[in-house]
Homo-oligomer: A and B are copies of this chain.
Amino acid sequence: MNISAQPYVILVRPQLAENMGMVARAMMNCGLENLRLVSPKEDYLSPKALSASSGADEILQKAKVYTGLSEAIADLQYLYATTARPRNQIKEVYTAESAMPGLNQHLNGGNACGILFGPERTGLENDEVSVADAIIEIPLNPKHCSLNLSQAVLLVGYEWYKTQIQAVPHRLVTNATQLANKEQLLNFLSFLESELSDFKNLQDKEKRPTLLRNIHNIFTRSQLTEQDLNTLYGIIKYLHRK
A contact residues vs B (CB 8 Å cutoff)? 22, 25-26, 28-31, 54-56, 86-95, 97-99, 102, 134-135, 137, 139-141, 143-148, 150-151, 154-155, 158, 161-162, 165, 167-175, 177, 223, 225, 228
Contacts and interface: CB of A to CB of B under 8 A. Distances in A.
Choose among A143, A147, A148 the residue with the greatest number of B CB atoms under 10 Å from its CB. Answer: A148
By secondary structure, the A interface counts as: loop
A162 B95 CA distance: 10
Contacts of A225: 90
A28 B142 CA distance: 10
Copies in the complex: 2
A140 B29 CA distance: 6
18 contacts: A29-B141, A29-B151, A31-B141, A55-B144, A55-B146, A56-B144, A89-B173, A90-B174, A90-B223, A91-B172, A91-B173, A92-B170, A93-B172, A102-B170, A139-B161, A140-B161, A151-B151, A155-B155
A145 to B, nearest CB: 7
Contacts of A55: 144, 146
Given A55-B146, A225-B90, A228-B90, A168 B140 contact: no
B172 A92 contact: yes
Given A30-B140, A90-B228, 6 more contacts: A28-B144, A29-B141, A29-B145, A95-B167, A135-B173, A154-B155
Nearest to A159: B158
Contact of A158 (B140, B150, B168): B140
Give the top 5 A-B pairs by smallest Cβ distance, nearest first.
Answer: A28-B144, A31-B141, A94-B170, A29-B140, A95-B168
